[in-house]
Structure 1
Amino acid sequence: MISLHELYATGKSIREIARITGHARNTVRKYLRSNGIPEPRYGQKRGSKLDPFKPLIDQFMAQGIFNCEVLLHLLRDQGYTGGITLIKDYVKPHRPPRKIPAVQRYETKPGYQAQVDWKICEYVDLNGEVRKIPVFAMVLGYSRMMYIEFAKRCDIHSFLRCLIHALEYFGGVPKTMLTDQMKTVILGIGDDRKPRWHPLFEDFAATVGMVPKVCRVRRPQTKGKVERAVQFIEQNFMAGRRFTDVEDLNRQARQWCDEQNRRIHGTTGERPIERLAQEKLGVLPPADRLAKYRFEVRKVSRDGFVSYDGVRYGVPWKYSGRDVKVRDINGFIEIYREQELIAQHKKQHRSRTLVMCEHQYANLSTAQGYAYPKPQGIRIPVQDVEVRSLDVYERLMEVGT
């Protein structure tokens, strides 16, 4: 503020000094009347209701108690009448950083473990509505080879189909497979605290020679490799992804997996595709042994259609009301009755699509809608009926008597 006197001594007016310094004219006048800068006058500092209890808070914090709700309760027992805000302001600079328990890094041996999981992603449909779609992810623990596949359902049949495709992509079977307690494959936990696996999955695991294991509850870091992978899918692959249907999305996902598996991994410093050769995976069973895990049972409707992934596929009308087996393979939907292939369609991806089969209703009107003829009698001409004399019937009556 000395500069105000200097400016005034040079002949500047109060108005000019106010304009130059940005102070109000009354402020300039007040300081010009004084010989120097007046000492600020501070009000007497009021004490806080918390002051008498601060030593007690220090004792609680030394015991590791930093929860302000708990501290408020403890201080009120000692006569504190203030609020929780005073406690929070006092504790904040003393609060230690959040403790995150350390974990041991777990590296798997070659060929020993794979980790699997589902992830729900979102996309915007043609009508601008947000839709959800599940994606299956599998990562080999040693090489970090990754496989993903999108599906319309998270049921056991979709899971097994994706799992078979993953094993085919990797070219073999790991010794163990780690999963969380997903309802797809685990029906519950028994009294012995062991998982009750879905019978179909348990049979599949035995067929391919893979031991299923479940990670500890609320310990997602146990299968951290696939956890990071599913986050990477959402943030890297799915973000801004443009596709026409699920088939197109999976075609792009396969190409993306190929690219990622050829890149140097941030943890191992090597390419997953090169480390895959060191996995030495078990031999995948032949296709005929895996064929039964690709089938799902469906019932044919009265009008001769089978519903599969939201699409209705036609079969010959004579199978209406019967159970058939359906499988999704190589871009086609195959429908079997017993061991017979009764219909084959190119897979459709648009929901509510109706696909007719050739000669679906052939001879339907003639048979009146029945696959098998009704029981009927046979009328014959009169001359074909044997004519017997009355003596024959009289002799039969005598025998009966």
Structure 2
Amino acid sequence: MERWCKIRQRVLREGESIRQIRRETGLHFQTVKKILTHSSPPAFRCPERPKPKTGPYLERIKGILDADKDLPRKQRHTAKRIFEVIREEGYAGGYTQVKEAVRELKRISQEVFVPLVHRPGEAQADFGQALVKMDGVLRKVMFFAMALPYSDAMFIAAYPRECTETFQDGHVRAFDFFKGVPRRISYDNARTCVSQIIGSRTRRLTDGFLQLQSHYLFEEHFCRVRRANEKGVVEGVVKYARLNYFVPVPAVKDFEELNAHLEQRCREDLGRKLRGKGATKGRLLEEDRAAFLSAPAAAFDACRGASTTVDKLSLVRFDCNDYSVPVRFAHHTVVAKGYVDLVRICRKDRVIAEHDRLWDKEAIAFEPVHYLELLERKPGALDHARPLCDWPLPECFALLRSRLEQEGRAQGTREFIRVLRLLERHAVDKVARAIGKALRLRRCNRDVVAQYLYPDEPFSPPTFRLDGREHLQGVCVGAVDLASYQGLLGGRS
């Protein structure tokens, strides 16, 4: 540029000839004329090269690509397939030219988006997946993400899989983290909240989503089908969380430890300031909170309920797994409530059983105590009862059974089951102490063990007092002469 400027000054201002400039610089005449014509070097313009081979077929290639937009991605034309199609129509060129033409047409035909405005009090929610080493085993987990586009604050929580109860629990935790309920939340069309898509914007919602919305009263917004860009902020949050919170792969003991780690990272992220924002996420979150809805006073019961019938094995099936209930409820109708961490089984507003949640398939959760009432009627099944297999009882229970069966044989087994039934109302360690005391005193039966379950009270002999008995204060009791008693004994003999 410096040389360009000096040449123009020497010719146009000082009047030197073009011939003198050419003699000194060795430039071509046309080059000097270009310098004198333009105040700055013109941009390089690559002449459009003719395409004698692919040119007549560009419209055909563009028509194939446009038609593919309405087809599934896995059934669209590849560059190789387009080459084969147009070759059958008379194309005489090579594959590389077709491949470059397809690449260029795809690049210039990409969709263009409108920048959106994000107001305080709005949120977007989605699920993502990542790998975690949990208790030494590498496994896939689903993580719930909620983002506030105005402040860019985020909340992440991991779950075994995406379902109604994890969807609800993720909202409950997010609202607690943000200390409020967003007025409007955007979603995709997942089965956890949409049961049927009716037109472009109309949705038939699931009962689980309606229960959540009825409790918190937020407004819903669903993206159009295959238009995840309408909630692009949370899509970016899912990617950010996977690359920053799950890399390297977290090694944790359980979901409780993992979620504590993720919540801590989300809190630390509130101190970050993004490009184009006037303050940190934490400061902008205060403006979001000012536009939030107030959280209801009552807590939301984040669970999925299902009415079912207890089978003849005293088992209830929920989410492809079986859970035991007390045998007296066999063949009764019950309601199973599945939470993230446990399953409660209810009968007429009363919880009759509670188990840790099973996330595998076709597994069974037994509670041995549930079957003791039936075993008392069928003592012969004690050694073969599946619910009692691998029941971790203290050693004193086996010793008690051995002693009872030595004394009473078949009746001893029934008596031992009666002792086990004490576990229906008392803790194992408490019953074990009572059994140990009965064994030491060699008084082995159910009634004795039950007696020892009550707390020992210090014995104090009764003492007669004259307080309040003034009419007895004047009574004097003389000393007793034991010789008279001896006389009576002598006379009787």
TM-score range, shorter chain: 0.5 to 0.7
RCO higher in structure (CA 8 A, sep ≥6): 1
Q: Structure 1 residues 62 and 365, CA, compared in 2 at 3 Å: closer, same or farther?
A: closer
Is contact 1:247–1:349 with CA below 8 Å preserved after alignment?
Answer: no
Is contact 2:196–2:205 with CA below 8 Å preserved after alignment?
Answer: yes
AA at the equivalent of 1:117? D
Aligned residue number for residue 281 of structure 2: 272
Q: Please list the CA deviations of residues 199-250 of structure 1 after superposition, one character each: whole Å capped at 9, or x if unmatched.
A: 3312421331111111122222211111011112221112221111222222
Aligned residue number for residue 155 of structure 2: 147
| Runs (5+) with no aligned partner, structure 2 | 1-49, 66-78, 380-493
SS of equivalent to 2:373: coil
In the TM superposition, residue 188 of structure 1 has moved relative to its aligned partner by 1.6
Q: Structure 1 residues 277 and 306, CA, compared in 2 at 3 Å: closer, same or farther?
A: farther
Aligned residue number for residue 215 of structure 1: 223
Aligned residue number for residue 166 of structure 2: 158
Q: Structure 1 residues 126 and 310, CA, compared in 2 at 3 Å: closer, same or farther?
A: farther
In the TM superposition, residue 253 of structure 1 has moved relative to its aligned partner by 1.7
Q: 2:178 aligns with which of 170, 173, 183?
A: 170
Instruction: Report whether the alignment pairs 1:364 with 2:353.
Output: no
Instruction: Report whether the alignment pairs 1:339 with 2:373.
Output: no
Q: C-alpha distance in 2, partners of 1:231/1:192?
A: 27
SS of equivalent to 1:360: helix
In the TM superposition, residue 71 of structure 1 has moved relative to its aligned partner by 8.1
Q: Please list the CA deviations of residues 269-288 of structure 1 after superposition, one character each: whole Å capped at 9, or x if unmatched.
A: 53322222111210111225
Is contact 1:314–1:343 with CA below 8 Å preserved after alignment?
Answer: yes
SS of equivalent to 1:115: strand
Q: C-alpha distance in 1, partners of 2:159/2:241?
A: 14
Instruction: Report whether the alignment pairs 1:261 with 2:287.
Output: no
Instruction: Report whether the alignment pairs 1:110 with 2:116.
Output: no
Which sits farther off after the overlay, 150-159 or 56-65? 56-65
Aligned residue number for residue 388 of structure 1: none
AA at the equivalent of 2:154? M
Structure with greater helix percent? 2
Is contact 1:115–1:226 with CA below 8 Å preserved after alignment?
Answer: yes
1:301-316 mapped onto 2 (5 Å cutoff) = 302-304=312-314, 314-316=324-326
AA at the equivalent of 2:119? K
1:59-208 mapped onto 2 (5 Å cutoff) = 82-85=92-95, 87-88=97-98, 98-111=108-121, 113-124=122-133, 131-190=139-198, 194-208=202-216
Aligned residue number for residue 250 of structure 1: 259
Q: Structure 1 residues 63 and 301, CA, compared in 2 at 3 Å: closer, same or farther?
A: closer
SS of equivalent to 2:370: coil
Aligned residue number for residue 283 of structure 1: 294
Identity of aligned pairs, percent?
Answer: 23
SS of equivalent to 2:270: helix
In the TM superposition, residue 116 of structure 1 has moved relative to its aligned partner by 0.8
Q: C-alpha distance in 1, partners of 2:343/2:331?
A: 19
Q: C-alpha distance in 2, partners of 1:176/1:208?
A: 11
Q: Structure 1 residues 89 and 363, CA, compared in 2 at 3 Å: closer, same or farther?
A: closer
Is contact 1:120–1:135 with CA below 8 Å preserved after alignment?
Answer: yes
In the TM superposition, residue 258 of structure 1 has moved relative to its aligned partner by 1.6
Q: Structure 1 residues 258 and 336, CA, compared in 2 at 3 Å: closer, same or farther?
A: farther
In the TM superposition, residue 147 of structure 1 has moved relative to its aligned partner by 1.4
Q: C-alpha distance in 1, partners of 2:182/2:58?
A: 50
| Runs (5+) with no aligned partner, structure 1 | 1-52, 370-401
TM-score under structure 1 length normalisation: 0.63
Q: Structure 1 residues 269 and 301, CA, compared in 2 at 3 Å: closer, same or farther?
A: farther
In the TM superposition, residue 350 of structure 1 has moved relative to its aligned partner by 8.3
Q: C-alpha distance in 1, partners of 2:354/2:96?
A: 74
Counting matched residue pairs gives: 308
TM-score under structure 2 length normalisation: 0.52
Q: C-alpha distance in 2, partners of 1:252/1:344?
A: 28
Q: C-alpha distance in 2, partners of 1:271/1:301?
A: 57
